[in-house]
Amino acid sequence: MDRWSRELDELDAAGMRRTLRTVDGQGPRAVVDGRDVLLLCSNNYLGLAGHPALLEAAAAATWRYGAGSGASRLVSGTLPPHAQLEERLATFKGSEAALLFNSGFAANTGILQGLFGPDDLIFSDELNHASLIDGCRLSRARSVVYPHRDIQALERLLAAEAPRRKGRWLIVTDGVFSMDGDIAPLVALCELKERFDALLMVDDAHGTGVLGANGRGTAEQLGCLGRIDLQMGTLGKALGCAGAYLAAPHVVINTLINRSRPFIFSTSLPPSVPAAAMAALDIVESSEGARLRADLERNRKFFAGRLHAAGLDLLASATQIVPVLVGEPAPTMAITRRLLDDGIFLQGIRPPTVPEGTCRLRATVMATHDPADLDHAAGLIVAACRKV
């Protein structure tokens, strides 16, 4: 115990200790530490987590099927809502089949562990999500990390490995990068994976529901939906629920049902969750969804434009995730605290979530934000950054 305590003190001294804050409210406003604030760090991008259609679907499924599923999927935990949502997701993504996981973290670790092994080789973007990194480790495949979004570098790495190729090859990338808000060059990645006979996996945690004319994600936006072999996405962000899925060919899904440890050895999601996720997909595919996406895009452009015009460094953000680069941990967290006092809640992000020296404020815009509130928040963020 003493040792952990010392380690926590060291984190504290380095400005790196993390603590929890209780947030009451789904945005655009919430109560944090007893005060009413504008919520600027939720991934509930379309405001669906509090949408009446989702709440009603969840309540109806709870009364019909129970509060919990009772077992893992292969035992008695595949209830009608789980099976219906999987069909629905396969149609949504234009794939043969889909499989639910209890979270995005469980999906990424379980997909990579279930499909790949020591003979295989995984090419992974250096800014991929932690769950993909852990999935690479769990698979026991060799992994080659390529520089962020760098197609030429990846091509050189693929060409260098080609002469001693043994097993399967996978290129894996976030669709929208979770801490930078930039978009993977999926069309160029498709060309490479086809040329080198590799598979392509896209983690679209932040693109699902948000990008593309029908909210099908980054690949729809970039016009390469049918070319992605393994389409992973989450239900806990824009879709406002919890859990995640893989959309892929039958053979992949059937392999995971037999091999993926987080899928096999865990109680399935409560039936309310897939029921609410179907209600979310109904909205995403409707004119209401199109309107929410348009509002989100308007808000993001306005907010990022304000910060950019004031000279802040927003990295290569091209989505609702708007990072404001600060650099070191102490000033980053000082700005977060100051903004909370001003009634704006957004989190400072530090290593190991982002590389050393790139601490940032990670602002996330919602469709339901009022532009006047975003204007006010942008002014306070600029002032706080200048002061600190």
Ligand X SMILES: *Cc1c(COP(=O)(O)O)cnc(C)c1O
Q: Which residues are catalytic?
A: 178, 206, 237
**105 or 345, CB closer to ligand X?**
105
Do residues 72 and 268 lie in contact, with contact meaning Cβ atoms separated by under 8 Å? yes
Closest to ligand X by CB, 206 or 216: 206
Q: DSSP 3-state assignment of 176?
A: strand
When asked if residue 236 is in the footprint of ligand X (CB under 6 A), the reply is yes
* Number of other CB atoms surrounding residue 221 within 10 Å: 20
Smallest distance, ligand X to C-beta of residue 305, A: 24
User: In whole angstroms, how close is the CB of 127 to ligand X at the nearest point?
Assistant: 10
Q: Apex CA 266: angle with CA 235 and CA 122, to 5°? A: 65
Verify binding: residue 244, ligand X, rule CB under 6 A.
yes
Least distance CB 205 / ligand X (angstroms): 3
When asked if residue 105 is in the footprint of ligand X (CB under 6 A), the reply is: yes
Nearest residue (CB) to ligand X, 45 versus 105: 105
What mask of x and - would describe binding to ligand X in positions 118 to 147, judged by CB under 6 A?
A: -----------x-x----------------
For ligand X, which stretch binds (CB under 6 A), given 85-93, 101-109, 273-281, 328-336?
101-109
- The side-by-side arrangement of strands in the sheet containing 347-349 is 321-327, 359-364, 347-349
DSSP 3-state of 86? helix
Contacting residues for 311 by C-beta, under 8 A, at least 6 apart: none
CA 93/CA 219 separation, integer angstroms:
10
- Residue 205 binds to ligand X (criterion: CB under 6 A): yes
Beta carbons within 8 Å of 253's beta carbon, 6+ residues apart = 96, 97, 98, 99, 246
**Residues within window 245-274 making contact with ligand X, judged by CB under 6 A:** none
Q: How many CB atoms lie within 10 A of CB 3?
A: 7
Cβ 26 to ligand X, closest distance in Å?
Answer: 15
Q: How far, in Å, are 190, 196, 248, 331 from residue 251 at the CA level?
A: 21, 21, 8, 50
Closest separation between CB of residue 209 and ligand X, Å? 13
203, 220, 229, 295: residue in contact with ligand X (rule CB under 6 A): 203
Interface positions with ligand X (CB under 6 A): 103-105, 108, 129, 131, 174, 178, 203, 205-206, 234, 236, 244
